[in-house]
Homo-oligomer: A and B are copies of this chain.
Amino acid sequence: MSDHLTHFDASGQAHMVDVSAKAETHRRAIAQGRITMQAATFKKLSEGTAAKGDVLGIARLAGIMAAKQTGALIPLCHPIPLTRVTVEFATDPTTHSVACTATSETVGRTGVEMEALTATSVALLTIYDMLKAIDRGMVMDGIKLIEKHGGKSGSWVAGK
């Protein structure tokens, strides 16, 4: 890995780094995060996904749509025509938490890590928004990149 912060030029000024000469390759990134709530809140959420008041369905959509806004939100991110975005949830009754996994893909000149992380963050924020009327103390944790593939630097998998 580089020890250079690519988002700064030689004089230390921020720029959107030049990727013109990079090859268009298939790139994929997976990110994860989790929101933990009170037992009663988790119960409410779980009932909703089964029947009505579909919190996770709405959070999924918010995450997917946010991935498309990544280039507008993160100052030095390149705008990227995404070819795929998925957002999945796993509920854990033991810890009263919901884990979110987002995958983003493109065929392009730069990676899509930020798109997967942005989808994860906004999906979790949307869960917070939907449930905050009954539980303001929810906490979002463990938001991180899980793996990324494609491009010159190849594959990277968390913890390896």
Contact = CB atoms under 8 A, between A and B. Distances in A.
A1 B132 CA distance: 10
A117 B106 contact: no
A139 B142 contact: yes
A121 interface: yes
Interface in A53-110: 53-55, 57-58, 60-62, 64-69, 71-88, 105-109
Interface residues of A, number: 94
A8 B53 contact: yes
A3 B144 contact: no
Contact of A3 (B17, B109, B134, B156): B134
A1 B141 CA distance: 24
